[in-house]
């Protein structure tokens, strides 16, 4: 069967999704300019769109694109008369490859491409950028999404999103951000920024803050894919595995979270036969890895452990609420916030009885961060303690990207809102904590939904 130009274009689109981040990362290491690297990679993509419909898709399309982009880099430096030592090295390398030997093409994607990808992630998520800019740039450079796709996902006008990306790249250039993997004390803070971006992308897909759709599965898939890549690139970072575990387990429930009309279905009412057991297994394995690396008390690992308690329970009655309450105690220690406390209240009620949970909730009624938060009265309201702790309808949500001024702010990683049914039982040990609020907070995917 003949291959049409349309078929080739579809193949190019799929290849670009897979290879673009590696190509941009490799180029950024060479030219030390993320904006220029993306421009060169786009030039290579245009060349593929022009040539492959006639010549066919090469055996190693990623290497073809990288080689073409490197040649464009040489042309760029020549045009701008910037023929320095780096240019000479590149020139000698590429001139030898112009004869088009297959083994040379195989080598076009450098051996240290993993390091390049990690550098690209750290650069795109640099704290010098706003949260919105980090998210947009990461999805663009590392996720391979088009500006139109990112704008559509976040319900932002495409020109606005395009300007956001342009300003982000300009900020990186003006701040002279080095294209490198940070080391020492700076590494933990920078890694935290990368994890936050992936978490927020997943969270926006899992429980959208804008639009009519309750979920946007494509964003969940993008975040999960990037999280898996990061886990391969940084295999000894426990919180990376903790975040991957959280996303895997939460994603396993996606198919059961909405009804025929798109209405949300609470976790305790979901058909657990529709949960993806493969994703649960992968999540549990990632959680084990995080714990083996000594990261059991990391914020993401703790949230993953909470999700795992639900994932292991074949029926709602098998849920280990005592362990969940203990995990929320630990999460409240490492990432205190009013939203964590509200979730802890639900877990305490489920484990030790309604009165125990209400005592925790009572300490939150005057918390400014929760003023107007729809889940507080649904948990605290008369008659709700022994009934279903959910609002009657879906709450209105701000049309804003995560981290925007319209989003509520707290301290630590976003923590889950409680959406469970407080049950009956004896009162047990629980604590009242003074919630703190200083940075961003919004509902997280570890909520039982």
- pLDDT tens across 142-155, in order? 888 889 989 988 88
Question: Highest mean pLDDT range out of 108-112, 179-183, 229-233?
Answer: 229-233
Domain presence at residue 111? no
Statement to judge: residues 257 and 404 lie in one domain: yes
- 208 in helix, strand or coil? coil
Q: How far apart are the C-alpha atoms of 437 and 173, rounded to whole Å?
A: 33
- Do residues 194 and 331 share a domain? yes
For residue 166, being part of any structural domain is answered with no
State phi, psi for 127 to the nearest 5 degrees.
-60, -15
In the chain, what's the furthest Cα-to-Cα distance? 79
Quick one: pLDDT band at residue 414, thresholds 50, 70, 90? very low
Please report the pLDDT score of residue 264 as a whole number: 87
* Mean pLDDT rounded to a whole number for the chain: 79
Q: Are residues 92 and 199 in the same domain?
A: no
Buried b (16+ CB within 10 A) or exposed e, 8-21: beebbeebbeebbb
Same-domain status, 402 and 285: yes
This prediction has a pTM of 0.74
Same domain, 227 and 94: no
Side-chain half-sphere CA neighbours of 88 within 13 A: 2
- Whether residue 157 is contained in a domain is answered as no
Cα 408-412-416 angle, rounded to 5 deg: 65
For residues 319 and 434, state if they share a domain.
Answer: yes
Tell me the residue ranges of DSSP E strands in 110-257.
Answer: none
pLDDT at 66 over 80: yes
Residue where a domain stops, chosen among 55, 74, 98: 98
- pLDDT score, position 86: 57
Same-domain pairing of 93 and 196: no
User: What's the pLDDT at 87?
Assistant: 55
| Secondary structure (DSSP) of 241-291 | HHHHHHHHHHHTTGGGSB-TTS-B--GGGS-GGGS-HHHHHHHHHHHHHHH
Tell me how far apart the terminal alpha carbons of the chain are, to the nearest angstrom.
47
* Pair 298, 334: CB distance under 8 Å: yes
Residue where a domain terminates, one of 77, 98, 119? 98
Q: How far is CA 61 from CA 114, 137, 195, 301, 424, in A?
A: 18, 24, 30, 38, 61
- One domain for residues 282 and 421: yes
205 and 314 assigned to the same domain: yes
Please check whether residue 423 is in contact with residue 448, taking contact to mean a CB–CB distance below 8 angstroms. no
Assigned domain for 200 exists: yes
CA–CA–CA angle 124, 130, 135 (5° rounding): 50
In degrees to the nearest 10, what's the CA dihedral of 34, 39, 41, 44? -160
Q: Is residue 308 part of a domain?
A: yes
Element counts in the chain: helices (H) and strands (E): 18, 2
| Domain range for 365 | 182-440
pLDDT at position 3, please? 59
Does residue 207 sit in the same domain as residue 64?
no
Whether residue 366 sits in one domain with residue 244: yes
The stretch 6-23 carries a mean pLDDT of 87
Q: Which of 76, 98, 120 is the last residue of a domain?
A: 98
Note whether residue 19 is domain-resident.
yes
pLDDT above 70: residue 247: yes
Spatial neighbors of 154 by CB under 8 A, at least 6 apart, are: 135, 161, 204, 210, 401
**pLDDT score recorded for residue 210:** 67
Three-state DSSP class for residue 164? helix
Give just the sign of the alpha carbon dihedral 381, 385, 386, 390: positive
At 94 the pLDDT is 55
Q: Is residue 161 part of a domain?
A: no
Task: Decide if pLDDT at 399 tops 80.
Answer: no
Q: Domain count of the chain?
A: 2
Tell me, yes or no, whether 260 lies in a domain. yes
* Coil vs helix vs strand at 7: helix
- The rounded distance, in Å, linking the Cα atoms of 115 and 442 is 32
Any long-range contacts for 216-220 (C-beta under 8 Å, 24+ apart)?
216/153, 217/254, 218/153, 219/153, 220/247, 220/251, 220/254
Asked whether residue 94 falls in the same domain as residue 186, the answer is: no
DSSP string for 16-49: HHHHHHHHHHHHHHHHS-HHHHHHHHHHHHHHHH
Which whole-number Å values give the CA distances from 352 to 71, 243, 324, 326, 340, in the listed order? 67, 29, 12, 12, 18
């Amino acid at each position: 069967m003949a291959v049409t130009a349309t078929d080739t274009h579809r193949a190019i689109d799929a290849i670009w999704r897979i290879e673009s981040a590696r190509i941009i990362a490799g180029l950024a290491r060479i030219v030390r300019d993320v904006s220029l690297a993306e421009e060169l990679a786009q030039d290579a993509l245009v060349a593929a769109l022009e040539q492959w419909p006639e010549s066919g898709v090469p055996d190693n399309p990623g290497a073809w694109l990288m080689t073409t982009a490197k040649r464009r880099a040489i042309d760029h430096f020549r045009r701008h008369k910037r023929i320095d030592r780096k240019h000479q090295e590149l020139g000698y390398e590429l001139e030898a490859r112009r004869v088009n030997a297959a083994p040379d093409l195989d080598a076009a994607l450098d051996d240290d491409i993993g390091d390049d990808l990690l550098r690209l992630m750290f650069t795109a998520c640099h704290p010098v950028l706003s949260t919105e800019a980090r998210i947009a740039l990461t999805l663009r450079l590392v996720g391979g999404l088009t500006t139109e796709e990112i704008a559509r996902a976040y319900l932002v006008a495409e020109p606005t999103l395009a300007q956001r990306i342009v300003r982000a790249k300009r900020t990186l250039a003006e701040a002279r951000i080095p294209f490198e993997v940070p080391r020492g004390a700076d590494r933990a803070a920078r890694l935290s920024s990368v994890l936050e971006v992936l978490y927020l992308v997943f969270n926006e897909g899992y429980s959208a803050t804008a639009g009519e759709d309750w979920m946007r599965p494509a964003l969940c898939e993008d975040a999960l894919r990037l999280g898996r890549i990061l886990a391969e690139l940084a295999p000894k970072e426990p919180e990376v595995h903790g975040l991957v575990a959280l996303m895997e387990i939460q994603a396993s429930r996606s198919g059961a979270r909405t009804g025929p009309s798109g209405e949300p279905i609470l976790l305790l009412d979901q058909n657990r036969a529709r949960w993806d057991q493969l994703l649960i297994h992968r999540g549990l394995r990632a959680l084990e890895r995080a714990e083996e690396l000594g990261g059991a008390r990391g914020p993401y690992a703790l949230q993953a452990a909470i999700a795992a308690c639900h994932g292991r329970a074949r029926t709602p009655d098998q849920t280990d609420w005592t362990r969940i309450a203990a995990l929320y105690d630990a999460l409240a220690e490492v990432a205190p916030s009013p939203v964590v406390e509200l979730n802890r209240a639900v877990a305490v009620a489920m484990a030790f009885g309604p009165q125990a949970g209400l005592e925790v909730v009572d300490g939150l009624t005057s918390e400014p961060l929760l003023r107007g938060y729809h889940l507080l009265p649904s948990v605290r309201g008369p008659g709700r303690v022994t009934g279903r702790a959910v609002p009657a309808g879906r709450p209105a949500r701000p049309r804003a990207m995560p981290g925007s001024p319209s989003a509520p702010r707290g301290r630590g990683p976003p923590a889950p809102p409680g959406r469970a049914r407080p049950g009956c039982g004896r009162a047990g040990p629980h604590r009242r904590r003074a919630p703190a609020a200083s940075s961003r907070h919004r509902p997280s995917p570890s909520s039982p939904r």
